[in-house]
Structure 1
Amino acid sequence: MTAQETQRAATGDGERPRFPFAARCPGEPAPEFDRLRADRPVARVTFPTGDTAWLVTGYEDNRTVLSDPRFSRALTTRPGAPRLQPIPPDPASLFSMDAPEHTRLRRLVAPAFGNRRMAALRPVIEREVELLVDGLVAAGPPADLVSGLARRLPITVICELLGVPTADRERIAGWVDVLLSLTRFRPEDVARARADLKGYLEGLVAAKRESPADDLFSELIAARDSGDALSEEELVMMGATVLTGGFLSTASEIALSFLCLFRHPEQLAALRARPELLPSAVDELLRYNALTTGGGLLRVASEDVRLGGVTIATGEAVLPAISAANRDPDVFDEPGRFDVTRESNPHLTFGLGIHYCLGARLARIELELALAVTLRRLPGLRLAVPVGELRAEGGHLIRGLPELPVAW
C-alpha cells in the first residue's frame, strides 16, 4: 500500500461524513464525535457549502490547531478558501486576523474586558438578572426562560458595554442571529445582515463622535481619532466583533445550562444545597454543553502540517471540534458524566492561543449570576415540558434553544 493509500485508509478519505452532525439532545455533542475521536481523530468532512476540511476531535490535537500559527485564520478570508458558512469571513474582523494585526487590535479592546472593568460590571449584571427574574415572577408560570432571561441578559450587557441604545438592541440581536447561520438563511440574506450591521455601526460611530459617552465604542473612537493604529473599517468591525461574540453564544449557554441542570436533578440539588459550588459548576457546564455545531473557528494550513497521524496540506481547512475535545477520556475522568464538583477541568470552550475568547470573564459572570439569582429566587424552578419535546436551533452555528418552558 502506498503512503497515500495508507493515509486514505486511516482518515476515511472517500467516505467523508457530512458536517455538521445531528445531536440527539440539545446540549449534547453528536455521537459521531466519540466515534471519530476513537477511530479517526483527524478526519475529512464535507460542509454544507460543499467544501471539505479536516475535523479534529482529540484534546491535544485541538490544542495544537488552536495555538499553532501555521493554522491561520487570515487565510480563511482569501478568495476560494474553504468555508463553513454561506459567505466568507470579513478580513477586517478580529476573528479573522493573525498576528501581528490581531495583536495590535486586541490590545486596544482588551482593557474593556479586564478584571477591573469586569469587577465593576458584576453588580450591574446582578441587578439586571434581578429585574429579569422580577419580570418572570410578575408574569407568573409557565414562562419561557429563553425570551425572559437567557437572550435578554447578554444583549443588554454587551450593548451597555459598547454603548448601543436600548431601542436598537432587538435589531442587533436579529442581525447576529442571521450572521451566525449555516443553512437557515440564504447567502444573500447573510451578506445583507452583515452590511446592515456595519451600516448601523458606521452611523453609531458618527453619533458618538458628536456626543461621546462612557462606553467602549467612545473609547475606541478616541483611540482612532488620536492617531492610534486603527482604521475606520477596523473600528466598525471591532464593534461588530464584540456584538457578535458577546450575545448569542452567552445567551445559548445560559439556556443550555439550565436545561442541563434540569436533566441532572441530583446535580441541581447539590448546587442548591451548596451554592459555593457555583464556580466549579459553571466550568463544568462550559465543558459539558455542546454549544456549537463543533466548536472553534475554521483555520487554513499555511504549510504542510503533520497532525494526528495525517498530513494536512498547505491550503486545506481544519476545524477544531472543541465539543469533542471537552469529552476526551484521555483528559477528563468519565467525560460523559456531568459533575458540578469536578475539580480538574481544563476545558477548551473559550479556545486557546491568540484567539482565546476576549469575553471569557464576562461570559462566566453572566452565567454564574443568571444561575445564582434565578435558582435563589425560584426555588421550585423546573422544566415545564418533557425533554424530548425540546429542539436545538437548526441550520445554525450556535446550537441554542429557541425556547425553554419552565414552571416553579
Structure 2
Amino acid sequence: MAPYKLPVKQNLANWWDAQNDYAELRDEAEVVRIDFPFGGEGWMTTTYDLVKQMYTDPNYSIEVQSDGKEYPRMRYIERDNSKNPSFMQYDGAKHQAKRAVLTKYLTVKRVNALRETTQKAIEETLDDLEAMGNPVDFTHNFAKLLPLKVLCALLGMPTITDEAFLDACYTIVDSRVENPQELMAAFGTIVPFFNALYEEKTTNPGDDLMSAMIQDKNDGLWSEDELRNLGTTLLLAAHDATGVMLNGQIEWLSHDPELYARLRAEPELFPQAFEELLRLNSVGTSAPRGRVALEDAVLGGVTITAGEAVNGNLLAANTDPAVYPDPLTLNIDRERTQPHVVFGVGPHTCPGMHLARMEITLSLQEILRRYKTFENVVESQEWPKDRLCKSAPEVVVKWERA
C-alpha cells in the first residue's frame, strides 16, 4: 500500500475525510507509512496509546531536525529553524530549562489572574460584533480577534490590526509557505514587529510577559534571538491554535441548536461538554512537528530505524474507538476514562494550554449567557461532514439576545 499523503495546506483539509482516512489506516496498523508534506516518507501513529508512548519517549527527538539536514517535515518553515529559534525545538533538559522560564508566567494561578481582563475583552468584542449587524461573521470579528487581543495584552503591546501582518502569520501556520521566497517574505513582515517590541521592553520594561522574560532572574537561559522571537512563536502557535479551537467550537454550537439549548438550560453540564468539544476540534490535521528516532526501536510492532521520522497524530488519538466508543459523535454524557490530547502530551505539551482553556471557556460561557438562540446561517444537512480541520473560514451566525 502506498504511503498515506498528509495534506500540505492544512486549512483546506476536510475533518470528516481525515477522520475516515485515519480509521482506515488504524484498521491496517497502529503505525503506518506516510508521505510528509515537505521532505519525504516516515511513520505515523494511529492510536491513543502509541501517541502517548511516542511523545514521552526520549528516543524520538525534535532537536535533530534543526541541524540543517534533510528530514521529512510537516511544514516548510521547519526546514530552517536555526534562523528563528524557538524553545520548542529543543529536547530534554535544555528544553525543560527554557520552558520553565516561560511556563512559570503561564501557570493556572497566573492565568486565573487574567480572567477579569479577559472577560472584559470578551464583552467588549461581542458588543462591537453586535454593532456590525445580525447575522454577523464570528470568525474574523471574534474567534480570531479575541485571542489576539489577550495575547497582545499579555505581551504588553497594542492589539495588532495590520492585515498584511496577520495574513503573513496565517500563511505560515496554515502551511501555505512552499518555498524560501514565501517564507522570507512572511517573516520579513512579522519579525520587525517583535524586534521593536523587544527593544522597547528592554529599555522600558512594564508589567507584562515580554518584560518579565527579558528581566527574569534566570537570565542567560534564553538567548537574545529567542527572546526577540518569543512574540512570533506565541503569535504563530498560541494565538492561531486558540483561535482555531474557539472558532471550531462556536461553529459546532451554531450547527447544533439542541446542544446549545441544553447547555443554556443546564450550565452545570458545561465542563464536560467543553472537554468533548475540545476532543473533536482539531488544530489542522493535528499532526505536530515530527520526531526523529535516535536509535532503532520498535513502536506498535513496527521497527523504526535510527534517523527515520515519526509523527504522532493527535486527531487520530482523540478519535480512537478503543478509548472513545462511537468517536465521531459529540456526546457530552460520555463516560471519560482517558483525557484527550488536543494540547499534546509529554514534554512538549502546549505551554499555553491554561491560557487557551481560560479564554475559550469564558468566551463560550458568555455566548451561552448572552444569546437565547445562536444559529449558523448556512444550513448543513451533512454536519459535521463538511467541516474543515482548521474550522470554517467564516462562521456567520444569526443571534437573539437573551
User: What does 1:41-190 correspond to in 2, within 5 Å?
Assistant: 41-78=30-67, 79-87=69-77, 88=79, 90-91=81-82, 92-167=85-160, 170=163, 172-183=165-176, 186-190=179-183
For residues 180 and 205 of structure 2, what CA distance do their matches in structure 1 show? 36
Contact kept in structure 1, 2:39 and 2:71, CA below 8 Å: no
* Alignment partner, residue 204 of structure 1: 197
Partner of 1:272: 264
Provide the C-alpha distance between the structure 2 equivalents of 1:313 and 1:334, rounded to a whole number of angstroms: 35
For 1:300 and 1:136, locate their aligned partners in 2 and report how far apart those are by CA, in whole Å.
Answer: 45
Find the aligned partners of 2:221 and 2:293 in 1 and give their Cα distance: 28
What are the Cα deviations for residues 321-352 of structure 1, in whole angstroms up to 9, with x where unaligned?
A: 11011011111232222012334151111111
Aligned pair partner of 2:347 in 354, 357, 371: 354
Residue 358 of structure 2 is aligned with which of 347, 365, 374?
365
1:21-55 Cα offsets, whole Å, 9 max, x none, are 99885577431001111212211111332511211
Report how far residue 185 of structure 1 moved.
5.3
SS of structure 1 residue aligned to 2:110: helix
Closer, same or farther in 2 for the Cα pair 1:320/1:48, shift >3 Å? Answer: same
State how far apart, in whole Å, the 2-side matches of 1:133 and 1:403 are: 16
- CA distance in 2 between counterparts of 1:275 and 1:262 reads 17
CA distance in structure 1 between the aligned counterparts of 2:294 and 2:249, rounded to whole angstroms: 37
**Alignment check: 8 A CA contact 1:173 1:247 kept:** no
1:33-81 deviations in whole A, cap 9, x for unaligned? Answer: 0111121221111133251121111111111121111111111222212
The residue aligned with 1:337 is: 329
2:392 to 366, 379, 401: 401
Q: RMSD over aligned Cα, in angstroms?
A: 2.4
Unmatched segments (≥5 aa) in structure 2: none
Judged with a 3 Å threshold, the aligned counterparts in structure 2 of structure 1 residues 365 and 89 are, in CA distance, closer, same or farther, namely farther
- TM-score between both structures, scaled by the size of structure 2: 0.90
User: What amino acid does structure 1 have at the position aligned with 2:392?
Assistant: L
Query: How many Å separate the matches in 2 of 1:28 and 1:180?
Result: 21
Aligned partner of residue 32 in structure 2, secondary structure = strand
Which residue identity lines up with residue 321 of structure 2 in the other structure?
Answer: P
Check conservation: 1:223, 1:230, Cα contact below 8 A: no
Unpaired runs of 5+ in structure 1? 1-11
Q: Matches of 2:179 and 2:285 in 1, distance apart?
A: 18
Asked if the contact 1:66–1:320 (Cα under 8 Å) also holds between the matched residues in 2, the reply is yes
8 Å CA contact 1:271–1:340 kept in 2: the answer is no
CA drift at 1:108: 0.8
- Structure 2 distance, partners of 1:377, 1:69, is 47
Bigger mean CA offset, 162-171 vs 337-346: 162-171
| 1:229 correspondence with 2:221 | yes
* Count of residues in Structure 1 that have an aligned counterpart in Structure 2: 390
| Cα separation, partners in 2 of 1:170 and 1:341, compared to 1, 3 Å | farther
Measure the CA separation in 1 of the matches of 2:140 and 2:44.
33
The CA deviation at 1:189 is 1.3
Q: Tell me how far apart the structure 2 counterparts of residues 232 and 290 of structure 1 sit (CA, whole Å).
A: 33
Supply the distance in 2 between the matched residues of 1:236 and 1:290 (Cα, whole angstroms): 29
